[in-house]
Structure 1
Amino acid sequence: MGFFAWVVLVAYFALMMIVGYWARKRVVNASDFFTAGGEMPWWLSGISHHMSGYSSAVFVGYAALAYTSGITVYFWWAASISLALLFGMPIFPGRWVRMRQQFHVISPLEYLKVRYDLPTQQLLGWSGAILKVFDVGAKWSASAILLHAFAGVPLLWGVILTGSVTAFYSVMGGLWADALTDLSQFVIQFIAGVSMLVATLIKLGGVSSVWQIWHLLPPDHHKPFHGDYTVIFAATYFFVNALSYNGGSWSLAQRFLASATPTAARRSALLSALLFLFWPLVLFFPMWAAPVIFPHLQDPSESYAALTKTLLPSGLIGLVLAGLFAHTMAMTSSDANAVSAVIIRDIMPVLRKGRPFADKQQLLFGRVATFSFLLISMVLALFSSHFGGVIGMVILWYGALLGPIAVPILLGLLRPFRRSGPSAAIGSCIAGALAFASLKLSAMQPWLSSHAHIANAVTVGAPLFVSLLAYIVIGVFYPSRNKDSAAFLEAINPPSERQSGDLRTALNPSSHGAS
């Protein structure tokens, strides 16, 4: 990195801090901090949903997969997310909005206390928060790897630099700052991504290289599914994505909670789906072409960094690097805001023996929780190699354990699963976690090692499907008959718009202060 690259990168970090500082003016109470007061425009929510859906791990781990395996990464990752959002668009976004409108929830797990019970809410809250620390730690690690590849910055200082800037604007402006910086970051990474695409096309001889390049790559690189990433793996990840991107990931649920109306939430989901369908084609083409430009690269995870340093002038190198950081900072700030909402609204009142925070206290401690979460995840990033590296943490650990947590959260919103109560929710979560543990620690590990083509699918899919099966079966044999839960489902599921005043009080005793 030359002088101009550093100027651009420093200017980018400064812009993020300025936007975060400006956004603080829109944060008056906890509802503003965690759900933007339910006033976020659909287009901003959609862009923020998209930007919060992936990090710079794409330009490290997935770049390595694009270098070694070709286009399959687009089909099982980006296209899968797009289809998952289109599938869930008429089902989930509107329910999240109606929940906020009728019961004034500002945490993605706040409703679980009534839909199931308090122990279920606490189990999912604690387990999800701990899992998110690992997930965000992997993303800091990916950003630090990029900065090291570009400028030789040590891992420690790479994590501190990106983490401290993210912490500043997240703590200052809450979800408004997250969304507005997401918009700024989207514009930056759009310019950076198009610049990289144009530079790659020029290097390869023009636009015709888009279809001619495949003759120069290994035969498997143009196959949608091959090697370890089979149709079974893609189908498995589709179900994981359907749970995650429709609200099973708390930060993405917040984008729907922040929408003004159910229609606006569905539009934001559609916009995010279209971005996932088309934009990764621009991002991935240089990665797919990398083996032609660098046929003997020793570390495929540094392929995107090598392309940038080779093809772009100094100033654009800084812009591309800023675009890469944009994704990690968007995702980590969103996760921090969502986890802090769960801590302040769901976990801390229980530790305080049922005494909820006053609204000013919620805002103060929400900022403290956001900072603390980011700090812990930054420390964990320094030890990411002990958990299988970036790919191991993002694809296997998070992907495998997300399902057991997301199943009772998302399916609990739907009337067809109204018989599945607390026993089903807790049972499904424990069953999925045990399935993952048995795969990683049991005698099946040698078998998985010898069947690499299905190992990833089994590791990611087994916990999800075991959790789903347990949720349904326990609901059938041990059905729940809770009047408050039934009334809640009637209130958030169209076409019924009925609500119970007693139910609203049971769900959120301090809702008048948070709204």
Structure 2
Amino acid sequence: MGALDWIVVGGYFFVMVAIGVWSRGRIKNVIDYFTAGGKMPWWLSGISHHMSGYSAVMFVAFAGEAYRLGLTVYIWWALTIGVGIGVGSWLFAARWNRLRAKYDVASPLEYLARRYNVPSQQVMAWAGSVLKVVDIASKWAAVAVLLQGFAGIPVTVGIIIIGGVTMIYSVIGGLWADALTDFGQFIIQALAGIVMFGAVINYFGGISWLWEIWGQLPPDHSRPLNGPYTLTFFMALFVIKTLEYNGGMWNLAQRYMAAPSGSLARRSAALSSVLWLVWPLVLFFPMWAAPLIVPGLDKADDAYVAMGEAMLPAGMIGLVLAGFFSHTMAMVSSDANVISAVITRDMLPRIWKGAARFSEKAKLQAARITTFVFIGVSMLIAITSGGQGFVLKVVVDLTAATVGPIAIPLILGLLPWFKRSGSLAATTSVLVGLAVWAGLYIAQNTGGDISKGLLVSAPVLVSLVVYVGIGLIRPERSADRDALVDSLNSDDGDAVPEKGKPDALSPA
């Protein structure tokens, strides 16, 4: 990297911090900090939803898979997400928004205390929070690997630089800062992606390379499913990603909650769905062509770095690197915000009764402290891990396999079709699903013949069967719970308060 590249990267960091400082003036209370007070334009909510869904892992682990195996990474990753969000735009997006509008919900887990009970809520809160810390650590490791490849900066220093900038604007500006930086990062990402795409067009001498390269690549690179990514893996990941990107990944539920109404939240989801179906094609085509441009790489994870160094002029490498940063910083800042919401709204008051008596100023201060601590802990984990193998192992083996069991009662609890499933079904489905994953994971790492498809699919399928099955065998319906779920069917009507409680979502 030359001086011009560093100027581009430095300017990017400065703008991100400036947005955080500006956003601070829009934050008056914790509702503003966590859900933007329901005042976020639908198009900004949709772009933020899209940007918060993936990170620099795509340019390390997934780019490496595209280099090794070709088309399949788009099919099992981007396609499942895009279609899953499209499904969720009709089923889930508006319901999340109505929780905020009718019940002043600021955390995606806040409604669970009433929908099930407090113990069920706490099981999901603790399990999901631990998972999030490890997941975000993998994102720091991924972007630091890229920075090391482009600029020779040690992984530890890279994590400190990128994490420090993210920490500043996330702690100061809350969800408004997250969404506005997401938009800025979306623009930078678009420029970076188009620059790389254009460089590859120029290398091959025309747009015809889009269809001509497949005859020059190994035959299996054009297969929709290739290598360890089987039909079972694809179908399981579709279920997981539909749950994950419609609220199972808690920060994405926040984007729906931040829109002005349920109908506009649905529109923001549709925008995110379209972006997921189209934009990854621009990002992946250069990686599908990479074996013809930089053949014989010892480490496939280095493919995007090698492409950038081979094809981009001075200044453009800095722009592409800023694009890498944008992915990770978008996801981490939004995850930090939602984890802060879960801890301060759902967990802390159960651990320390004094937290329930905080003033609005104290609640906002607690939210900022929690955001700071979450980002700091995830950075420490990333620094101690420090390997490229850590990235793909965490993202696929851990996150994809365990997020499903945690998400099933959270997401399906919003729908009227699952009213029979109560607290026993919710808690048991989470614990059994995680236990299945742990058993398979241990077996896989002790010599057992456990495929990637089985590791990913079994936990979510078992969890789903348990959740529905217990609901059928031992239903836990009540008029109050039914009224809560029914109130989410439309934007019209008032919230249904619990008897004797001023707060509609306060548990008995």
Q: Which residue of 2 aligns with 1:396?
A: 397
Matched residue, 2:486:
490
Give 2:353's aligned residue. 353
Aligned to 2:367: 366
The residue type paired with residue 99 of structure 2 is M
Aligned to 1:342: 342
Residues 247-284 of structure 1 deviation map (CA, whole Å, 9 limit, x = unaligned): 11100000011111111101110000000000011000
**Secondary structure, aligned partner of 1:442:** helix
Matched, 1:293 2:290: no
| Pairing 1:11-26 to 2, within 5 Å after superposition | 11-26=11-26
Deviation at 1:476, TM superposition (A): 1.2
Deviation of the 1:462 alpha carbon: 0.7
Q: CA deviation at 1:385?
A: 5.6
Q: How far apart, CA to CA, are the structure 1 residues paired with 2:154 and 2:483? A: 55
TM-score, reference length from structure 2: 0.97
Question: 1:456 maps to what in 2?
Answer: 452
Compute the displacement of 1:148 (Å): 0.3
Distance 2:446 2:482 in 1: 43
Give 2:125's aligned residue.
Answer: 125
Check the 8 A contact 1:387/1:393 in 2, yes or no: no
Against the structure 1 CA distance between its residues 509 and 471, is the aligned structure 2 distance closer, same or farther, given a 3 Å change threshold?
A: closer
Match of 1:250 in 2: 250
2:364 maps to a residue whose letter is L
Q: 1:7 offset after TM fit, Å?
A: 0.7
Check conservation: 2:75, 2:224, Cα contact below 8 A.
yes
How far the C-alpha of 1:499 sits from its partner, in A, is 3.3
CA contact (8 A) 1:490 1:496 kept: no
Pairwise CA RMSD of aligned residues?
1.7
Q: Give 1:318's aligned residue.
A: 318
Shift of 1:506: 4.7
Q: Secondary structure at the match of 2:502?
A: helix
**Residue of structure 1 in register with 2:185 after alignment:** 185
Structure 1 residue 448, shift from structure 2 partner = 2.4
- Select 1:505's aligned residue among 492, 495, 502: 502
Unaligned runs of at least 5 residues, structure 1: 450-454, 511-515
Indicate conservation of the 8 Å contact 1:113/1:507, yes or no.
no
CA distance in 2, matches of 1:397, 1:433: 10
Amino acid at match of 2:408: V
Q: Which residue of 2 aligns with 1:476?
A: 472
Mapped to 2, the partners of 1:467 and 1:385 lie a distance apart of: 32
> In the superposition, relative to structure 1, how do residues 401 and 75 fare at CA in structure 2: closer, same or farther (>3 Å)?
same
Aligned residue identity for 1:196: M
Deviation at 1:86, TM superposition (A): 1.0
User: How far off its partner does 1:382 sit?
Assistant: 1.8
Structure 2: distance between partners of 1:497 and 1:419: 24
Shift of residue 482, structure 1, vs aligned partner: 3.0
Query: Which digits, 9 at most, give the CA deviation of each residue in 1:184-211, with x for residues without a partner?
Result: 0000010110000000111122211111
Deviation at 1:89?
Answer: 1.1
**Shift in Å at residue 215 of structure 1?**
1.3
Query: Which deviates the most, 20-29 or 490-499?
Result: 490-499
What's the secondary structure of 2:91's corresponding residue? Answer: coil
Aligned partner of 1:513 in structure 2 is none
Following superposition, the deviation at residue 437 of structure 1 comes to 0.9
Q: State the SS of the aligned residue for 1:207.
A: coil
Within 5 Å, which residues of 2 pair with 1:217-296? Answer: 217-296=217-296
The amino acid of 1:389's aligned partner reads F
Of 168-177 and 472-481, the range deviating more from structure 2: 472-481
Tell me how far 1:396 sits from its aligned partner.
1.2
State the shift of 1:498 in Å: 5.2
Alignment partners' CA distance in 1, 2:502 and 2:437? 38
Identity of aligned residues (%): 48
Letter in 1 for 2:323: G
Contact 2:4 2:314 in 1 (8 A): yes
Check whether the contact 1:114–1:506 (CA below 8 A) recurs between aligned residues.
no
Residue identity opposite 1:393 in structure 2 = V
Contact 2:497 2:504 in 1 (8 A): no
Question: Could you report, residue by residue, the CA deviation over 1:267-316 in whole angstroms, capped at 9, with x for unpaired residues?
Answer: 11000000000001100011111100011111110110111111111201
2:141 touches 2:386 (CA, 8 Å); kept in 1? no
SS, match of residue 314 in structure 1: coil
Q: What are the ranges of 5 or more consecutive residues in structure 2 without an aligned counterpart?
A: none
SS where residue 296 of structure 2 aligns?
A: coil
Q: In structure 1, what is the Cα distance between the partners aligned to 2:22 and 2:370?
A: 21
Q: What is the CA distance between 1:383 and its match in structure 2? A: 3.0
Change (3 A) 1:379 1:444: closer
Aligned length: 505
SS of equivalent to 1:505: coil
Which residue identity does 2:407 align to in structure 1?
A
Aligned residue number for residue 173 of structure 1: 173
1:409-488 equivalences under 5 Å are: 409-442=410-443, 446-448=447-449, 455-488=451-484
**CA distance change for structure 1 residues 443 and 215 in 2, over 3 Å: closer, same or farther?**
closer
SS at match of 2:449: helix
1:501 Cα deviation from its structure 2 partner: 3.0
